[in-house]
Amino acid sequence: MCWLLLAVSIAITAPAAAAPSLEETLRGFDLLGSWAPDCGEAPSPLHPHATYSAEPSGQASMIYDPGPSAPRSAYAILSAERVTDDKLVLREEWLHDHSRLDVTLRKFRGKMKVWYSREAGGNTLVEDGTVVATGYVSPWMTRCL
């Protein structure tokens, strides 16, 4: 009984492991940098470029560049959570209107794509890698050097 009480008291008083920082989570998923379906192609609606970055201040962001025919979009990454080895959930805020999104990225064989995306109000935008409104399959993206 004495050993049980000792074990419980140690478990209660032991500090919990610190959660990884936002930057550590993004680095752990190997996300930071620029991504595109074909890095040799200029940004366009069919070949968008996405650049993920983290600042020393702890802030992180994503810039989505669909080419000159559409405006670039900038997002603050508010949080990131690794949910499986191949999936990362980001909470993002679009800097244009401060709307929020939950975005699940999926990686497979060194490539990455948007697997799921939902607005804060609950409207699903992307499900299983397919844009709900159009049926367009989100492209697999490769890291650009």
What DSSP line would sit under 46-73, residue for residue?
TB-EEEEEE-TTS-EEEEEE--TTS--E
67 falls within a domain:
yes
Structure confidence at residue 86 as a pLDDT band (50, 70, 90): very high
What is the domain count for the chain?
Answer: 1
Q: Which token pair is 119?
A: 């607005």
- Alpha-carbon distance of 139 to 39, in angstroms, equals 13
The contacts of residue 127 (CB under 8 Å, 6+ apart) are 116
pLDDT score of 139: 93
pLDDT score of 16: 59
Per-residue HEC secondary structure of 81-130 comes to: EEEECCEEEEEEEECCCCCEEEEEEEEECCEEEEEEEEECCCCEEEECCE
Q: Kindly report which listed range (9-18, 66-75, 128-137) carries the lowest average pLDDT score.
A: 9-18
pLDDT score of 15: 53
Report the CATH number that the domain containing residue 42 is assigned in CATH.
2.40.128
The residue segments making up the domain with residue 76 are 19-144
State the pairing for strand pair 130-131/33-36.
unpaired
24 falls within a domain:
yes
Helix-, strand-, coil-residue percentages of the chain, each rounded to 5 = 15, 45, 40
79 falls within a domain:
yes
Q: What is the pTM of this model?
A: 0.84
The contacts of residue 86 (CB under 8 Å, 6+ apart) are 106, 107, 108
10 falls within a domain:
no
13 falls within a domain:
no
